[in-house]
Structure 1
Amino acid sequence: MLTGMHIAVIGGDARQLEIIKKLTELDAKLYLIGFEQLAQPFSGAYKEKIEDVDFSQLDCIILPVPGTNLEGEVDTIFSSDKVVLTEEILNKTPSYCTIYSGISNSYLDEIVNQSKRKLVQLFQRDDVAIYNSIPTVEGTIMMAIQNTDITIHQSKVAILGFGRTGMSVARTFSLLGAKVKVGARSSAHLARITEMALTPFHLENLKDEVSDLDICINTIPHLVLNAGVLAKMPPNTLIIDLASKPGGTDFRYAEKRGIKALLAPGLPGIVAPKTAGQILANVLAQLIAEDYENRKGNKS
């Protein structure tokens, strides 16, 4: 139970509703910032404007998966008001206040470091990333079907990156009968790709591997599908970029060549927000409870 815990949930999408539901069931007191247009009531959760919250009482702050943008703004689909998280706000919180976010960026890192608060990035955890890859894969399949006029079966598919999402995507497309090859840099990843009966290639050779693709799925959050690579790609290739914004594709050049390139970060929140929210809610509940118990133990 989280009785006595004071938690601010700032912005987010439908995934946050599962988090709110879970934490209120555990008897935490929640302040919902950026939820003015949310009709669904939650016992123990109170809608607040950010300027009206007493941050000195907070045990933790929960941000949506993207965290903030580079100006500190937090996405709030349940509010038309702009919500900005600042260093000044964090300085008002107790020194033990923990900030939870899916991912981070230079702005969020900076204000957390300057305020000497603790930041937990949920998507750096193996359990969250692996569970989250399930709705990501389903969403990727949906996009591939909607945006091509061929079957996935027997299609030529390249997966770029062999992290937790890349591995799940590669395995599933292969099981659907696609001819899958996977680009990676790590020798261990290349060995694992081979062990899974997929075709490996080193990302240094990417230009030589795209000339006959039907679908290219990128999971690498760096510019890998640059103009030089796209120039070698057939115009009818579909690119699905799963990397966090701004993705790993030169979208301007792709459009110029007539290649359909779709940036699709946050697919779990689009195709399966309830499941994706439950994944985050269960991990958050565990982490917050452990943090609370540790603080009580230190006091005693």
Structure 2
Amino acid sequence: MVCPEKILVLGDGKRQKEMRKYWKVRGVTVWNEEDSFSPEELAAIVFPVKVTHDTDRYVKLLSKISASCIVCTGILTEEMNRLQEKTGKTIIPLMEMDSVAIENSIPTAEGILQYVMEHTEKTIHRSDILVVGYGRVGETLVHRLLALQAKVTVLTKEEKDIARAKERGADAREPDSFSPGPYDVVINTAPALTVDKRLMDFLEGEAVIFDAASAPGGVDREEAEKQEIQTFHILGIPEKTSPVTAGEVICRAVERLLEKTTRRSEEWN
């Protein structure tokens, strides 16, 4: 940032603690909810990535902030949308910004690899791994799996993603052309129910399924239980496995927004 700002970081998770450390080192005045502060002085308010609790207590806070104060969260949950409606304040969903989503895909992909290594008994090297979905996380994950010399198959609906995955060195196909295989690991990154009975029926051997999609996930867990397939639903990966990096990603995004606000203000003056 061009000059030190005053920022309120809400939440007490590992990511939020690292965000406060990051900014304090850089001379920023950073508060949490329990601190004594003046809302009118805030340059930014950063809510946790996913707010699911009641937000009514923040209505008074947002009514006191200046018009230039930036209000951010990770994703716009129902609770955050209600807060927008009640206060008339725009709340920026940082995870919908391409730059943030791409940066965040790195700790997410590496965290998935950590879970795979902890809960399987084979090396990733030479393992047969099926990756469902080829969005930002899926693409980053496949890149790292191939670097570890895993045998990777990508399942995706988009022709361009199939072409891109093949160019990377993976096998790739549409769900309708999926065929049985002795997969060691199945990783779902798609935000929809994709790992269903049909796909599970195609799995041979003792595959382990890792679901990295947001709740409710993309794996039919009841079917997996029926077929006695071990399944892990791994949520909040960046904060759990790489809280420092996860916090820095959010901090840099907020700083970019503050710099844009400063430039616009200078242009108007």
Q: What band does the TM-score fall into relative to the shorter chain?
A: 0.7 to 0.9
Q: Note if contact 1:2-1:23 (Cα within 8 Å) is conserved in structure 2.
A: no
Deviation digits for residues 6-31 of structure 1, max 9, x if unmatched? 42211042222232133334444332
1:61 partnered with 2:45: yes
Question: Distance in 1 between the 2:57 and 2:203 partners?
Answer: 42
The equivalent residue for 1:237 is 207
Identity %: 26
SS at match of 2:139: helix
The equivalent residue for 2:22 is 22
Pairs within 5 Å for 1:190-229: 190-205=162-177, 208-209=178-179, 211-229=181-199
Which blocks of at least 5 consecutive residues in structure 1 are unaligned?
A: 34-46, 74-83
For the aligned residues, what is the CA RMSD? 2.6
Question: Distance in 2 between the 1:253 and 1:86 partners?
Answer: 41
If the length of structure 1 is used for normalisation, what is the TM-score?
Answer: 0.78
1:72 partnered with 2:54: yes
CA 1:187–1:87: 2 relative to 1, 3 Å: farther
Number of residue-to-residue matches in the alignment: 269
Which blocks of at least 5 consecutive residues in structure 2 are unaligned?
A: none
Q: Note if contact 2:9-2:47 (Cα within 8 Å) is conserved in structure 1.
A: yes
Question: Distance in 2 between the 1:286 and 1:119 partners?
Answer: 16
Q: 1:270 aligns with which of 228, 240, 244?
A: 240
Q: Which moved more, 1:105-114 or 1:240-249?
A: 105-114
The equivalent residue for 1:76 is none
Deviation for aligned residue 1:118: 2.2
Q: 1:143 aligns with which of 88, 98, 115?
A: 115
SS at match of 2:254: helix
SS at match of 2:194: coil
SS at match of 2:240: helix
Q: Note if contact 1:22-1:282 (Cα within 8 Å) is conserved in structure 2.
A: no
Deviation for aligned residue 1:53: 6.0
Deviation digits for residues 241-288 of structure 1, max 9, x if unmatched? 122222211223323322121111322212221222223222322322
Question: Distance in 2 between the 1:2 and 1:29 partners?
Answer: 14
Q: 1:130 aligns with which of 94, 102, 111?
A: 102
Task: Kindly indicate which of the two structures has a greater share of residues assigned to helix.
Answer: 2
Q: Note if contact 1:183-1:202 (Cα within 8 Å) is conserved in structure 2.
A: yes
Deviating 4+ runs (over 4 angstroms): 1-4, 84-89
**RCO greater where, 1 or 2, for CA within 8 Å and sep 6 or more?**
2
SS at match of 1:200: strand
Question: Distance in 2 between the 1:267 and 1:182 partners?
Answer: 21
SS at match of 1:224: coil
Q: Note if contact 2:10-2:16 (Cα within 8 Å) is conserved in structure 1.
A: no
The equivalent residue for 2:250 is 280
The equivalent residue for 1:291 is 261
Question: Distance in 2 between the 1:210 and 1:282 partners?
Answer: 44
Q: Note if contact 2:46-2:73 (Cα within 8 Å) is conserved in structure 1.
A: yes
Q: Which moved more, 1:221-230 or 1:144-153?
A: 221-230
SS at match of 1:216: strand
Deviation for aligned residue 1:238: 1.1
Q: 1:177 aligns with which of 145, 149, 152?
A: 149
Q: Note if contact 1:162-1:183 (Cα within 8 Å) is conserved in structure 2.
A: yes
Q: 2:158 aligns with which of 170, 175, 186?
A: 186
